[in-house]
Structures are given as structure tokens and as C-alpha cells.
Structure 1
């Protein structure tokens, strides 16, 4: 399993959420939304410190992570977080 965060996506989060170098963002599973991996579930993000990270990636000074008890969502694949210039929005996909 792997977590890959593109620089453009990390910069977008820094700008939109007022983040500073050293801050952490938790990627978590939530009910509802437009998730394509598991019906009825999608991914959310929150500014929090890691407790027991299962996946972790530092990009642009920000630590992105998913706690160990949520990595089943990725199911031995890669979670890619990118920024879509065309729509000016974040794209999270499991590949």
C-alpha cells in the first residue's frame, strides 16, 4: 500500500486550509459521498496529528496520513491525491 500526494495538491490544501509547514492532515473514511472504491463510503480530510499511522507521506512540508485502522479502504493499492487544474479541485483515487 502507498500514499502519494502531488505537490500541487499539497499547496492547494496549504492555501485553502491555512496550513503551515509541520502541520498534519488525516485522511479518513466517512459515510456517504462519491467514493468509487467501496459503495456508500468516501474519503475525508481533517487537520490532526497522527496517533497510529498506517500510511504516511510528507509533501510541501505537510504530513498526510491515514491511520492504521483505516488502511483497509486502500486494499493493498495506492491512494493518489492530485489537483485537477481543469476543475480546480482535489482528486483522490485508489489505483
Structure 2
């Protein structure tokens, strides 16, 4: 499992979450919502430091990660984060 983040998505996170080099962004599992890979769960995002990162990637000095306890959610899929110009928000895909 990998996290892949487009340049435009990274720009959105940096702007919307007031991120700077050295910051951390966690992708986590939320109960409820909808997901194409896990019924009854959805993906959440938060600015916080990792405790036990299972997967991580760096872009522009910012670390994007998933805690080990949340890796099950991705079920062997990669998380692809892109940006939707019309909606002005990130798009999450699983490949």
C-alpha cells in the first residue's frame, strides 16, 4: 500500500490546513460515510503527529501518513489523492 499525492492536491492541503515543512497529515478510518472499498466506513484527514505510522510519504517537506491500526481499511489498495478543480477539494481514489 502506498500514498500517492498529486502536486495540486498537495497545494490544496498546504493552503487549507496551513501546512508548513515539518508538519504531518494523517489519513484515518472513520465509522460511517461511504467508501468504495470498505462498506460503513470512510476516510478522514487530520493534522497531527504520528504515533505508529504504518505507511507514509513526504511531499514538500510534509509527511502524509496512515497509522498502523488503520492500514486494514485500504485492503491492499494504494491511496491516490488528486484535486477536483470544480469542487475545490481533494478526490480520493483506491487502485
The alignment's TM-score, normalised by the length of structure 2, stands at: 0.92
Instruction: Compute the displacement of 1:20 (Å).
Output: 1.0
Find the residue that maps to 2:22 and give its secondary structure.
coil
Give matches, 1:16-35, under 5 Å: 16-35=16-35
Instruction: Compute the displacement of 1:75 (Å).
Output: 1.1
In 2, Cα distance between equivalents of 1:37 and 1:60: 29
The alignment's TM-score, normalised by the length of structure 1, stands at: 0.92
Could you say which residue in structure 2 is the equivalent of 1:49?
49
Instruction: Compute the displacement of 1:87 (Å).
Output: 2.6
RMSD: 1.1
Could you say which residue in structure 1 is the equivalent of 2:89?
89
**How many positions carry a matched residue from both structures?**
95
Cα offsets for 1:41-77 (capped at 9, x unmatched): 0000111111111110111221100001111111112
Find the residue that maps to 2:54 and give its secondary structure.
strand
Instruction: Compute the displacement of 1:29 (Å).
Output: 0.2
Could you say which residue in structure 2 is the equivalent of 1:67?
67
Q: Is the 8 A contact 1:6 1:59 kept in 2?
A: no
Cα offsets for 1:16-37 (capped at 9, x unmatched): 1111111001100001223221
Q: Identify unmatched segments of 5+ residues in structure 2.
A: none
